[in-house]
Amino acid sequence: MAGLDVFKRIFGSAHPGERRQIPRSGVPKGARVLVVDDSATIRAVLGKMLNQDGHVVLKAPDGETAIELARANGPDLIFLDIVLPGMNGFAVLRALRRDPLTRDIPIVMISGNLQATEQFYVQRFGADDFMKKPFGRGEVFARIQHLTKTGRLVVRERAPEDALPAAPEQTDAEHAAIPDIAMPDPHDLIVPPADRS
């Protein structure tokens, strides 16, 4: 039986969605998470990861919208890109930390820039964590689990009247921005005996 487990880990489960169904210990469910990124692809992909894990996702394409959504909806967690149109992520971070309504919300900064200086400024301006692009599910949930273990992320219970209206998982623009990855169908790789020469 152990050999089968190794085989599954190497080649994946027979049921692709099965891994997502396994609960992550120590990670709260139902958090209200604000994803701030000018990339529709990042908003869609990160939003889908969070939705699949039972979180409610709000999305903002720029800093000004992010501040408005944070003040109006009181998210439990914010994923904030550094490079944004107009107001950059550092300015948004400073504004959120100065506002009594948003100053205690844990914030994970995101950047595709590998410079250590960005990580330094993220810490200096009061972000709780930093995540480099590209990232995978494991990285996202490791950040959430870390914030939960340190007591920074606490999912508040909300009254039914405070529930957000159901929103589509992604907008048409976000859906269009997700790149199609065309993998060959394994059945197409088998050459029928009549075609072999």
**Domains in the chain: boundaries:** 27-153
Q: How far apart are CA 58 and CA 41, in angstroms?
A: 15
Give the model confidence (pLDDT) of 86-102 as tens digits: 999 999 999 999 999 99
Two structure tokens written together for 28? 């709260």
Q: What is residue 6's predicted lDDT score, i.e. its pLDDT?
A: 41
What 3-state DSSP class applies to 99? coil
Spans of the chain below 70 pLDDT: 1-27, 114-121, 158-197
**Under a CB-based contact definition with an 8 Å cutoff, are residues 53 and 29 in contact?**
yes
The predicted model scores a pTM of 0.70
Half-sphere exposure of 70 (CA within 13 A, CB side): 30
Please give the CATH architecture assigned to the domain spanning 27-153: 3-Layer(aba) Sandwich (3.40)
